[in-house]
Structure 1
Amino acid sequence: MSHSRYDVVVAGGGHNGLVAAAYLAGAGRRVLVLERLDHVGGLAVSTVAFPGVDARLSRYSYLVSLLPAKIVKDLGVGVELRRRRFASYTPAGDTGLLVDGEDEARTAASFAAVTGGTKDHEAWRRFYAMTAEVARRVAPTLLEPLVDRMALRRLVGAEAWRDLFERPIGEVVAERFDDDTVRGVVLTDALIGTFADPSTDLLANRCFLYHVIGDGTGDWNVPVGGMGAVTDALADAARRAGAEIRCGAEVLAIDPSGEVTFRDSGGHEHAVSGGHVLAALPPAMLARLTGETPERPEGSQLKINMVVSRLPRLRDASVDPAEAFSGTFHVNEGAERLAAARAQAAAGRIPDLPPAEMYCHSLTDPSILGPALRRSGAHTMTLFGLHMPARLFTGDGAGAGAGAREDALRRTLASVDAVLAEPIEDCLLRAPSGEPCLEVRTPLDLEHEAGLPGGHIFHRDLSWPFAESQEDGPWGVETRHERILLCGAGARRGGGVSGIPGHNAAMAVLFSSTSHGARIP
């Protein structure tokens, strides 16, 4: 078995691992990145999912909010992120709630049509003015050493602290808004990938917080070229800085001494040593690699990727489908429907009318479509279903098992049809094989394909962006082993496509007492 020594070995070539590698190599460290798959990118990749259909789908993660402009600038990452004009559209009977980021009067008129008055629109403006201020204040701290609870409380102010950090977000939303549709639109950001009751569980608050503070604005932007363009640019930045990236290298074990054993694509085992080992992996996977007992997180989502030959028609003739689907299109996500679906899933049942949200990447970024497909009027369509915990697909719950995946798909498509003017399946493009362009991914699929324990897209439940104990360490990436740092979404201030844990792990190395001659870009 060959043996080499590096300053830093990064286990995992997802976006966070690449960010860390670029920073550290740029600071003069000898860095090796080991990636199990034959390509880098982790869940932030673009894929031709349907043979013969020239569309590059962002197969897993699909939008960018948390990635700080500072990281993009520091690393010279050449990626374009486009802002979406329309934040969301929510069907409500034969009308709908349209949030137009460039026409406040139109948004107000839409609120009035759905709610019958002006109260909820005024409450909406006050609430999101508050979250915008929290975003502006908190986002810069995510790239700095952790502050404690009291310091962050002083930073955000008493009202925001009470309503976003201390009281259940469901309680706050019920108090501030009267209309069920409006309440549901707000609450969805507290439930993405998170199985929680927002009326009682502060986990929903943590999820909500990360969805509204992205880079100080909370905007959810479209990466031109798809998510793969983001991680390709990060990989280029790491290589330019001098990092060595090996794909087809499956990490088998990590020793607290810094030794990493991996197997190459030819089946040969190798050992390398690092002054530090950065685990751009779920904490449960790191525990297995270090011989410890792993936790068992549980993801909660259903991802459906589609290519449609045309955009589906809406019941609301006043809204262009291109407007409705270029933002977040909410499907049966009123507050009461969200609560009913959560209760059914908690009882081990696929929800009768699953809540979901859809969005069309190619309306904002047509570059992901081939020229002929673009001319034909075809589009990509991404659906993200809520309240679909992994337990529904393991065979443990009532009605779960082999047919759960198909049942979840069938019920989710029926839920979509219930808010459209025509069945979504009538709009699906067919591949040259004759098969409809539709693929579905459950939490178990993500576990098997991407190595995410329990299919948890955040690697584990999100944490508060402040230190809760001394064990959190100065950067929120530290582990019980001095040489091993978390570098993925499971770190404190992790989750989403952000690069923040990668940056913070790199800073922890560069500022550590064992670091030699730190040169920080």
Structure 2
Amino acid sequence: MADLDHHVLRRTMPAHEGHHGRYDAVIVGGGHNGLVAAAYLARAGRSVLVLERLGNTGGAAVSTRPFAGVDARLSRYSYLVSLLPRKIVRDLGLDFRVRTRNVSSYTPVERDGRPTGLLVGGGERRTREAFARLTGGEHEYRAWQRFYDMTGRVAKRVFPTLTEPLPSRDELRLRVDDEEAWRILFEEPIGVAVEDRFADDLVRGVVLTDALIGTFADAHDPSLKQNRCFLYHVIGGGTGAWDVPVGGMGALTDALATAARQAGAVLATGHEVVGISADGSSAEITYRTAEGEGTVEARHVLVNASPRELAVLTGDQPPTPAEGAQLKVNILLKRLPRLRDSEVDPREAFSGTFHIAEGYQQLATAHAEAAAGRLPTAPPSEIYCHSLTDPTILGPDLVEQGYQTLTLFGLHTPARLFDRDNDAVREELLKSTLAQLDAHLAEPLADCVATDADGRPCIEAKTPLDLERDLRLPGGNIFHRELSWPYAGEGTGRWGVETRHANVLLCGAGAVRGGGVSGVPGHNAAMAVLEELGG
């Protein structure tokens, strides 16, 4: 049956592929980066086969209905778009749109025995007034403006380089053309700049959170992995804006799959690649289906999986995984809860990033507790209500009834904390995380949570170990490994996708300039192949 399946693949190849079952490129994994690579290569006239283990393409950038009998299509794993270049959308003719959130963030806090908070967005005047209400003066707002003016200038200069051949460190430094910004972002721990420029603990925490999304680090970690995380969070689109995908994240990967197919690529789901043998000029890819094993040949192999998975497939020594450190929760509400801070409308507060327990000292304490092997006493997290910006992800009846979605992303929960009992620790962490949110609500969140067709609360939580099991993210790391600087280092190659096997390229999040929903590694791997093939 495996042989029959292989012949089916050959019959559905583009006519220009040839007659020996050999493709110009086989792409391992049908996540968004693999689909970007497939679309570019197929549009250039190359024969392309995508082999995807799961029953659908999209990887972590998918929309699903996780709650039985409920017409709510949520972005299950990844959910916001910032790093996807408009160039890729234009080049591939994607039918894909994003919407800007009017409010950037809201961070509740109790000061002098009363609930208050910091609302960023809704116009310059509104933001200035929010800072004044929180801090009692202009200093923090002016510092905020200066700091993000600086990151905005860096974003405009660095973001366009992501789809170009890798610059050297010196070339990127010249491109940035701002020695103070270079020092702050590339040379010293981001905690130094945060503490030098801001005095208020809550403001410091809001700034720091962009350095900790999926990254387990202290503000002063000498490795600067928190700086690399921060950089990728503030350069997206040349502005640092994080937008909501219309129709959910699955709308992007559906559009990419359509573009790849229309260009002639063959997408084969339910095909798990189990081995790659490459000699620099050709490769044999072994895959497994429900019926058995088969093989296919290619000139190039593009691996849209982690560097660890790549090593397993090629028989190399797998690198030690860099563990993930996040809790991912999807919730469906019957209505938004009321806030203790009555001066802020819940629809505004939840339309941006709603920060919980993310004061600067709270973040430091949570990191120290997790590093010592304990769950944070006050788990930090941030929440997004996508349905406020894009109600199309909900069925018309749910919209009419006022239902809303919440996506929660918890910080400082490294995979090691779940080793003893993943299910039990997940429930314990979820309970304490939601309790931190409840502390800022005028009513319990549980009173607002919808139930599914079986009467169960519409809450789904995923730990790093769950992500490793479901998506094969090593250690549950959403970036596949530690993020890299966006410049060339030893052995990185011209595009940052090269491996020690000359005709095997890495096109997933673990490539240089990978991580996040960007399509950049897929684009760059395709460019590397086309350069070698002459267009």
**TM class by smaller structure:** over 0.9
Q: 1:110 aligns with which of 126, 130, 145?
A: 130
Rounded to whole Å, the distance in 1 between the matches of 2:260 and 2:43 is 8
2:306 aligned with 1:282, yes or no?
yes
**Code of the aligned partner of 2:328:** K
> Offset of 1:476 from its aligned partner?
0.2
Residue aligning to 2:368: 343
**Code of the aligned partner of 2:479:** F
For residues 158-307 of structure 1, the aligned pairs below 5 Å read: 158-201=179-222, 202-257=224-279, 258-264=283-289, 266-295=290-319, 296-307=321-332
Structure 2, unpaired ranges of 5+: 7-19
Residue aligning to 2:505: 485
Aligned-pair Cα RMSD in Å: 1.0
Rounded to whole Å, the distance in 2 between the matches of 1:439 and 1:401 is 14
- Relative distance call for 1:422 and 1:42 in structure 2 (3 A) is same
Rounded to whole Å, the distance in 1 between the matches of 2:443 and 2:104 is 23
Rounded to whole Å, the distance in 2 between the matches of 1:481 and 1:47 is 36
Rounded to whole Å, the distance in 2 between the matches of 1:289 and 1:186 is 40
Residue aligning to 1:78: 95
**Code of the aligned partner of 1:414:** A
> Offset of 1:196 from its aligned partner?
0.8
**Code of the aligned partner of 2:370:** A
2:494 aligned with 1:441, yes or no?
no
Q: 1:34 aligns with which of 46, 51, 54?
A: 51
1:255-293 Cα offsets, whole Å, 9 max, x none, are 1231110012x3321111111100000110111111122
1:152-171 Cα offsets, whole Å, 9 max, x none, are 11111201100010010011
Rounded to whole Å, the distance in 2 between the matches of 1:403 and 1:12 is 32
**Code of the aligned partner of 1:454:** G
1:43-77 Cα offsets, whole Å, 9 max, x none, are 00001000111100101000000000000000000
**Structure 1 vs Structure 2: percent identity of aligned residues?**
63
Does the 8 Å contact 1:147/1:466 carry over to 2? yes
SS in 2 for 1:464: coil
Residue aligning to 1:358: 383
**Code of the aligned partner of 1:84:** R
Does the 8 Å contact 1:92/1:114 carry over to 2? no
> Offset of 1:402 from its aligned partner?
5.0
SS in 2 for 1:387: coil
Rounded to whole Å, the distance in 1 between the matches of 2:383 and 2:361 is 19
> Offset of 1:426 from its aligned partner?
1.5
1:406-452 Cα offsets, whole Å, 9 max, x none, are 11111111111122222211110111211110010000000111111
Does the 8 Å contact 2:422/2:465 carry over to 1? no
Q: 2:81 aligns with which of 51, 64, 68?
A: 64
Rounded to whole Å, the distance in 1 between the matches of 2:22 and 2:103 is 51
TM-score with structure 1 setting the length: 0.96
Does the 8 Å contact 1:8/1:278 carry over to 2? yes
Rounded to whole Å, the distance in 2 between the matches of 1:421 and 1:478 is 53
**Moved >6 Å (runs of 4+):** none
> Offset of 1:116 from its aligned partner?
1.7
Rounded to whole Å, the distance in 2 between the matches of 1:176 and 1:127 is 8
**Code of the aligned partner of 1:374:** V
2:23 aligned with 1:6, yes or no?
yes
> Offset of 1:205 from its aligned partner?
0.2
1:287-309 Cα offsets, whole Å, 9 max, x none, are 11111221222001000100000
